[in-house]
Each structure stands twice: as C-alpha cells, then as structure tokens.
Amino acid sequence: QVHLVESGGGLVQPGGSLRLSCAASGSILRFNFMRWYRQAPGKERELVAGISSVYNTQYSDFVKGRFTISGDNAKNSVSLQMNSLKPEDTAVYYCFAAFPKMNYWGQGIQVTVSS
C-alpha cells in the first residue's frame, strides 16, 4: 500500500513563502508524474502544478512565476516552493501521485495566507 505524506503547510502573511513536500512510501516503483492540487472552501479542486518522471513541469496560470515544483524520481518525492503568496492561495493543498498501475492522493495540508 502506498501512502503519500505531505508536510510544510501553515499560516503565512501575504507576500511570504512556504515550501510543501510530499513523499510516497510503500512503493518500489517510480512515479509517472506527481502533481499538487488545491481546494479552497466552496470551490472545486484545481491543478496547481505537476512534474513528470523526466522532470517536465507544468503550472496553472495563476501560479506561474511564483511557484516552483521539483521532484526526485528515485525517492518518489515532490516539493512545491510557493513565493509571493496571496490570500487567494489559501486552500487545502493535495499531493497526487500516478504510478504505473495506481494513482494516490495525499490527505491534504492547509495553507493559509493572511495578515
């Protein structure tokens, strides 16, 4: 059984930074791609950023230039460096991992941007 463990969330002031991390345990296979999604209260879950096993990256327009995703395929881990945070970035952030035969979600981690 694969488990995704997220860390690094919390409360930060507007303009501040946070770094989210996600590590997958329990798999001997390497991920095909990993992504970060987020869901704000009353809104649908949306894609934030993703990275493939060969480190191609993708970003949603609302985080381009502010967030950076990085990964380690050998360790089945991914991080999201979030800079210049805005109140509208407040959400629960979810890690998603696609392995050759199964996909997995993390439990979610709260990010709150507020003064």
Average pLDDT of span 9-28: 93
pLDDT above 80: residue 28: no
Tens digits of residue pLDDT in 74-90: 899 999 999 999 999 99
Residues 6+ apart with CB under 8 A from 73: 30, 31, 53, 55
Give the per-residue pLDDT at 26: 82
Average pLDDT of span 84-97: 97
Give strand pairing partners of 79.
Answer: 21, 70
pLDDT above 90: residue 2: no
Q: Which of 36, 17, 20 is nearest to 83 (CA)?
A: 17
